[in-house]
Structure 1
């Protein structure tokens, strides 16, 4: 500043420069010398996700919507329930120790299909696709009306197509809607309730259909991309994508459960539709979802292509599926059970009981045997045994390897026909009524027993809630029939078997327990103290 209060020449020049710069910035944008002082905008160079457009355009003409008609009477269709396809069995009918029930109890959820579930006991994924169903008091005849809507896909150019059994099971008439909107009548060739598969045939000799083939799902890995195409909520030609989330899922729908789990969006109406790999081959058939709302939450289950391929081939040939039948009630071999029986590995299938008159019983298979191989092929678990035996077909002679009394044995078995024999051989068993008399305490096991009223085995009259027996599900009122495959009639008998097991170097004993007409095995620790 000057002495007279006026700005100095230096100040005037500085102020003029700033004002001029501001004027330039406002009128012409940021000068190059100023812009160079700012950082570059963020830009990421990364691999781009693959497009599914080529796969979709190739396979879409082979995917159809399936409309089913029957004489059912309309009822309310509430989409708010938990959804699961259990082949006709509800979530609330699963055993209390089923992994899905334990999951819900641990995390505080409601049991799907239970009395408190929203929307009531709707149990199957796309049974709600069927919407209208016959009412309990409706005995009047009516005209056919739409009752189901699902998906399907052609597997031959002459019009054979695959869908789910639960989509078509109650139908009397079937209509297939092609990707271009053309509607064609179809007939039911055959269906299989155990795998929830069905085969339809379109009669249209004047045209050839675009069709797809089954993939080798053994090569499908968790994490692989998949594309689902179907008819969710009646919106035909819908495409969703995701990955394979898991393999070998057992959701309690039947003895052949071996589902592929995917996280592609699958909803009501997708049932029977295909899940493709990026080569345009079918790796699975969508059959169930797990959802608290009735809609997609990223957990869907598909029947593996390998299972579908065999079943569909049988349906196309004979209109039905015949399976080999061994006729034994089985359960998995846990590590505890393996230790109690002297097995090195927890594999194979433990025979709980052979059915009366079954091929297994006739061949000499006994309660407590562990089936370790069939025709020299090792058996991983109980589900593996069921699938392998079924695959042989009826009237097939097989060699069954057993672990019995600490030794390996082989028995020849002529398999029966599951479709025709199982109902006659599976006679119901009456539950045993326990009647306590003089209690005998087995302190080391945490249980108290008394002779059973029928003179066979021992009734459990008390279980220490802090014991290993309680932790493994042993309950008051159940009956102990045998220990390490030795029949027991008193607490002393149990003590003798346990003492011998300790001498043999075993740390657990295998208890056969009966309750409500069913039998199971429980391995309990027998260490001293």
Structure 2
């Protein structure tokens, strides 16, 4: 009989003897321990001797790369050389242009043997001609090109050029399997010191208070993330990719234990889209959502401040077809609770075009489940969008009729007017402060309802341009000399 079995039987005997035999058991157990002694076996491996992340790091780190970006930009020797007023009178004599190289550094993750790399858009974005270089953990370096980039989600997909199609990769995990408290590792190149690994836990899920897009949510972690980690990997204890590190909350510029990562389920959409040569489309809901506030919750009789209120529903849109009505409160999508409007859009986006989802709503205090078919937004017609140019205040603006899909995308109400989609840099419209989402409602004394109306009014030269612009809940009146 082995000494371990003898010790085990002694413990079992202790439980059977009860309180009455406790003193006798103590004497017997003491004697048995004396017989066994205090000798212990040598741990068979380092992993048994001490808990170590090294097996996970060996698996994941080779697929995490450094992303070097160089841009050629034009600069002038004089601080006034870029001022249009001074250049109008003094020309180039006031400052000679010169070329300068700007360099930046970030991280990325290889997700396919062919060399598809995921990083952040802000790592590679910038003015001027851009050169991207990828440095692997094994010191190999390659040029890379941009396949796709999205400013709203901050996701960029690169492709390594002239590779051998045998690159180390990280497998994307289902980020919905994460739970608060799970251990994670952040791998990247902070401050350019070289590849670094930090550990932490998942501090929170579905953080939506930050970011630029209404379909963005983030994984929050206390694993140290610093400048240069952007685009790097957040991996779980199986060595799979659960997120792309993207930003930190810090007052000092260094890690303070609050870092954010883009969930892998959103990253997966862009990887698949880039591989198939298509742009990722966000499903069109055909409804405007507003995050539930405390006042809304009290007015609607909700037992908690969470969810998204349907503020309006477009006729013949997917929301209307599913049975959603204004006043419904969306509380879950396919069983996943949603805390606000952004969380709803995120869930719909990650389900993808063509999917059917079950939307849980509270209607007049009663829970209901509706089925929603996800479709792409209808494309604007040829006469719906214009790039404006000419001697008028809106030179350089791209404008559109306010279609339901456009209203959804920009978070505005359908109604009269023409909306600004984008503004070209250094254009007249940009200098006057026009922004995407601005709605042109009047030019001169004439109300503007369509793009055609706007073009007609702009075609007539004015000694003084009068433009009424609605931005949010306010209307601004702009006066510009003709």
- Give the TM-score band, short-chain normalised: 0.5 to 0.7
Count how many residue pairs are aligned between Structure 1 and Structure 2: 331
Does 1 or 2 have the higher relative contact order (CA < 8 Å, sep 6+)? 1
Q: Distance in 1 between matches of 2:71 and 2:251?
A: 29
Q: Does 1:280 align with 2:280?
A: no
Q: Distance in 1 between matches of 2:354 and 2:184?
A: 39
1:476-510 deviation digits (Å, cap 9, x = unpaired):
xxxxxxxxxxxxxxxxxxxxxxxxxxxxxxxxxxx
The answer to whether the 8 A contact 2:208-2:343 is kept is: no
Q: 1:341 to 1:172 in 2, by over 3 A?
A: same
Aligned to 1:320, the other structure's residue is in SS state coil
Q: Does 1:341 align with 2:300?
A: yes
Q: 1:215 to 1:404 in 2, by over 3 A?
A: closer
Query: How far apart are residue 266 of structure 1 and its match?
Result: 1.3
Aligned to 2:121: 165
Q: Distance in 2 between matches of 1:339 and 1:400?
A: 22
- Name the structure where strand makes up a greater proportion of residues: 2
2:169 to 211, 228, 238: 211
Q: Distance in 2 between matches of 1:150 and 1:59?
A: 17
Aligned to 1:181: 139
Aligned to 2:439: none
Aligned to 1:176, the other structure's residue is in SS state strand
Gaps of 5+ in 2: 1-47, 77-81, 381-402, 416-469, 475-482
Q: Does 1:517 align with 2:475?
A: no
Query: How far apart are residue 159 of structure 1 and its match?
Result: 0.9
Q: 1:232 to 1:351 in 2, by over 3 A?
A: same
Query: How far apart are residue 331 of structure 1 and its match?
Result: 2.1
Q: Does 1:368 align with 2:327?
A: yes
Q: Does 1:262 align with 2:218?
A: no
1:196 to 154, 176, 192: 154
TM superposition score normalised by structure 1: 0.53
Q: Distance in 1 between matches of 2:185 and 2:345?
A: 30
Aligned to 2:73, the other structure's residue is in SS state coil
The farther-off stretch of 180-189 and 265-274 is: 180-189
The farther-off stretch of 171-180 and 348-357 is: 348-357
Aligned to 1:309: 268
Query: How far apart are residue 308 of structure 1 and its match?
Result: 1.7
Query: How far apart are residue 268 of structure 1 and its match?
Result: 1.0
Q: Does 1:221 align with 2:179?
A: yes
Query: How far apart are residue 67 of structure 1 and its match?
Result: 1.2
The answer to whether the 8 A contact 2:217-2:346 is kept is: no
Q: Does 1:71 align with 2:75?
A: no
The farther-off stretch of 331-340 and 211-220 is: 331-340
Query: How far apart are residue 262 of structure 1 and its match?
Result: 1.6
Q: Distance in 1 between matches of 2:284 and 2:51?
A: 46
Q: Does 1:298 align with 2:257?
A: yes
Structure (1 or 2) with the larger CA radius of gyration = 1
